Amino acid sequence: MKEENPWMISRLKLFSLMLLLGLMLAPAVFADSAQEAFLQAAEKGDLKALQKLMNAQIDLDGNLYNINESYEFHSPAIVKAAEKGHYPIVEYLLKKGAKPDASVFHWTALQAAIARNDLKMVNLLLKFKADPNLGLEYDSMGKSFAGEDGVTPVMKAAQRGSVPLLRVLLAHGGKLMQKDDTGWDALHHALRVEKLNLNCLEFLLKQSFPIRTEGSYLAEALRYSNFTAVRVLLKRGVPVNLYDLQNKEPMLMALNSPSQNLNGSIEKLLLDAGANPWQKNMHGLNYFMNFYDPSSKQAQVFKDYAKKTAQKQLQALKKKNQNPNQANEAGWTPLHWAAAAGDQVFLESLLKKGADPHKQDRLGYSPLILAAQENPQLLPSFAKYAVDWKARTPFGDVMSNLLSCGDLRQVDFLLAQGLSPNALIALPELEKRYEINCPKIRNRFGSFYQTEMTPLGLATLQLDLELARFLIEKGADLNLPISGHLRPLFVLLEMKFYNPQEHQAQIQAQQALFELFAESGADLEAFGPFGSTPFLVALSQGHDAIIASLLARGVEIDRVQPGGLTPLFWAVSKNKQEWVRFLLEKGANPNRRFQRDALSKSFMPEDQDDSNYFPIFPIESLEIMDGTTLLELARKKNNPEILQMLEAKIGS
């Protein structure tokens, strides 16, 4: 007789208990025919059938969860009746004690009645204390309410543009200012429609929404290209330069509402209301930079009008003679305007009056950063006053912005102000990384999640040969890590392009940068942060031209890394036949044994331990490998071709 497994029996008992508890605690989930017939009668509006079934064991508020119908939930009877507009059924159920808010994922009878614009049904449900502020829950199976988390009946009524529905909901405790999970209130939802009900909008604007301090209302009207709503909001005094909740800028959002006619465009409406076309978003773009077809005649008409309007606003600022540090709703001071417009005379007059070159707008742009990005010729004007060239902003510092633009003249100017070519510079912090500006690059270190690096590191990531040469001539140290443990040479070699034909220019720039580094004193035998060498990295990434150059420059092909590795050991472990063949042809020693030596902590980042010391080398265990020959490793890897190459080389 087979012996019973006590552990398995206990597991089965536990499972049975959990299943029983789940059924007991589940919110009225049934599978019997009586409950199903009850729901069908409510949906069909069959009051007599419903009354007959009341004598059976049914749950007034129960719903069905049908596994055979792709896990479909069938709403409670009161919801099904409300969805079909069966007033007598809903009234009967309520009088029998049905809960007015019985639901699946908070899709209640009240939500269903509002969806039908059924004012009579809404009044009935509210009379029985239905909750006008109960927000929808997202269906975790993705079948309904996606993107509507927290949307209440009040918000749905606002979407429908129904003032009568809103009035009755508010009379029964409905909250206009309540926000859904996205942060939108009833006014937002009223604006998030393609066909706006103007009467409803006017009704809502008479309430206490914070339209003068919150930019998201105008943003929603712009997002839905609603010209009428934009005009009404502007007349009500909505600030035209406020960012929305996602830090999007109004003029840029207006570009999503293309118009063939300037006079009938949302852009003109915004500009005439004082919109700032120079104002930037979090990605560094302004209105002038973001046209889909900037060379088109239509785009030029819009740009010309924007420039003309912006100049008028600038002239008005000059005449005001206001406090030079007074800011508008977006945080722009007159100095921001002068820096963005490139107006040197106005800029110097403001600085003379004490304007702060480091005062940041709501996103973090300072006049100094705007000048570095848009009009770097203004930087000498700033130098006449007290300026901190190293001041950090969410968009980097002055040097990083100039380097990104490749403005060598102004970089030279900053170096003349005392900045070191080896000092760490601040990178944009909003994304906390610097994306390599080459598409489809594979880089073992991925995006550099850094907030600072050296100027030469930035030039390397940009594959900017001219900038790198300039910095080296100015004293940039090639063997100084760009950030943390990474030297420029290793960063350069880690880049790999999967499509050589598409990225021929980048590959050529990479090779040219390597030659520049090699000729300028880069240590070609240096150990990287994980004990790798330039030769090993170049081999792993398949940089044939650079490998040839390294060998021609005399790098040691059997260089032992900290830990005891050589390039040939690494190639055999990775089953790379072409690399093994190449290394053997170039004279790599096939007779070596792997011998673990003391791991040098100086080559290892602080957060790494021995087990992760060589991520480029997939060693099962350095202890297991200790004393292993290349032939033994090849046998272990079950690669007869590599084994044959090694045996042939050893035999010769």
- For residue 67, what is the DSSP state? G
SS3 state of residue 426: strand
Assess if residue 241 is contained within a domain.
no
Res. 93: pLDDT tops 60: yes
Which tokens sit at 151?
């949307």
- Tell me the pairing of strands 452-453 and 72-74: unpaired
Which tokens sit at 27?
């919110």
Mean per-residue pLDDT for 454-467?
A: 94
d(CA 378, CA 372): 8
Q: Which residues contact 54 (CB under 8 A, 6 or more apart)?
A: 96
d(CA 237, CA 271): 14
Q: Is 41 left (phi over 0), alpha (psi -120 to 50) or beta?
A: alpha
Mean per-residue pLDDT for 143-170?
A: 90
Q: Which residues contact 607 (CB under 8 A, 6 or more apart)?
A: none
- Name the least confident of 37-41, 471-475, 570-574: 570-574
Which tokens sit at 445?
């270190």
Crossing angle for the helix pair 398-405 and 408-416, to the nearest 10 degrees: 150
pLDDT at 83 (0 to 100): 96
* Beta pairing partners, 63: 29
Residue among 55, 59, 56, 50 at smallest CA distance from 26: 59
Res. 89: pLDDT tops 90: yes
- For residue 430, what is the DSSP state? S
pLDDT at 24 (0 to 100): 42
Q: What percent of the chain has pLDDT over 90?
A: 54
Which burial class, exposed, middle or buried, applies to 3 when counting CB atoms under 10 A from its CB (0-12, 13-18, 19+)?
exposed
pLDDT at 476 (0 to 100): 96
- Name the least confident of 416-420, 470-474, 569-573: 569-573
Residues 93, 94, 97, 103: is their CA dihedral positive or negative? positive
d(CA 390, CA 193): 47
Res. 625: pLDDT tops 80: no
SS3 state of residue 471: helix
Res. 343: pLDDT tops 50: yes
pLDDT at 1 (0 to 100): 39
More confident of the two residues 430 and 539: 539
d(CA 545, CA 422): 29
Q: What is the dihedral of CA 232, 235, 236, 237, to 10 degrees?
A: 130
Contact (CB, 8 A) for 184 and 155:
yes
- Name the least confident of 329-338, 411-420, 566-575: 566-575
Res. 615: pLDDT tops 90: no
Q: Which residues contact 217 (CB under 8 A, 6 or more apart)?
A: 187, 188, 191, 209, 211, 233, 238
Q: Distances in Å between the alpha carbon of 264 and those of 195, 255, 268, 298, 302?
A: 18, 13, 7, 13, 12
- Name the least confident of 231-240, 433-442, 494-503: 433-442
> Which uninterrupted H or E stretch holds 131?
none
Mean per-residue pLDDT for 539-556?
A: 91
Q: What percent of the chain has pLDDT over 70?
A: 83
Mean per-residue pLDDT for 198-227?
A: 91
Q: Which residues contact 142 (CB under 8 A, 6 or more apart)?
A: none
| Band of residue 32 on the pLDDT scale cut at 50, 70, 90 | low
Query: Whole-number mean pLDDT of the chain?
Result: 84
Domain that holds residue 552: 524-652
More confident of the two residues 355 and 612: 355
- Within 10 angstroms of residue 366's Cβ, the number of other Cβ atoms is 26
Which range of 18-27, 507-516, 578-587 scores highest in mean pLDDT? It is 507-516
pLDDT at 141 (0 to 100): 53
Assess if residue 602 is contained within a domain.
yes
Assess if residue 400 is contained within a domain.
no
- For residue 2, what is the DSSP state? P
SS3 state of residue 434: strand
Mean per-residue pLDDT for 548-553?
A: 93
d(CA 395, CA 170): 45
Which tokens sit at 591?
């007779």
pLDDT at 607 (0 to 100): 42
pLDDT at 391 (0 to 100): 95
CA–CA–CA angle 604, 605, 609 (5° rounding): 70
- Name the least confident of 128-137, 408-417, 634-643: 634-643
pLDDT at 139 (0 to 100): 63
Assess if residue 605 is contained within a domain.
yes
pLDDT at 22 (0 to 100): 45
Mean per-residue pLDDT for 526-552?
A: 87
pLDDT at 599 (0 to 100): 46
What is the number of structural domains in the chain? 1
pLDDT at 472 (0 to 100): 97
pLDDT at 609 (0 to 100): 39
The residue type of 210 is P
Mean per-residue pLDDT for 560-581?
A: 83
Res. 9: pLDDT tops 60: no
User: Where residue 588 sits, what CATH number does that domain have?
Assistant: 1.25.40.20
Contact (CB, 8 A) for 69 and 36:
no
Scan for tokens 């004393």, then name that residue: 627
Q: How many helices (DSSP H) and strands (DSSP E) are in the chain?
A: 33, 7
Mean per-residue pLDDT for 615-640?
A: 68
d(CA 535, CA 571): 12
CA–CA–CA angle 574, 577, 580 (5° rounding): 85
Contact (CB, 8 A) for 262 and 268:
yes
Q: Distances in Å between the alpha carbon of 275 and those of 215, 285, 327?
A: 13, 15, 14
Contact (CB, 8 A) for 132 and 154:
yes
d(CA 421, CA 2): 79
pLDDT at 628 (0 to 100): 82
Res. 347: pLDDT tops 80: yes
Res. 273: pLDDT tops 90: yes
Contact (CB, 8 A) for 148 and 136:
yes
Residue among 108, 198, 124 at smallest CA distance from 156: 108
More confident of the two residues 379 and 616: 379
d(CA 277, CA 252): 8
CA–CA–CA angle 641, 646, 652 (5° rounding): 125
Res. 154: pLDDT tops 90: yes
Cα 244 to chain centroid distance, Å, stands at 16
Backbone angles phi, psi at 563, to 5 degrees: 110, -20
Res. 575: pLDDT tops 80: yes
Which tokens sit at 156?
């749905």
SS3 state of residue 315: helix
Res. 604: pLDDT tops 90: no
CA–CA–CA angle 524, 530, 536 (5° rounding): 45
| Band of residue 597 on the pLDDT scale cut at 50, 70, 90 | low
Assess if residue 604 is contained within a domain.
yes
* Beta pairing partners, 426: 452
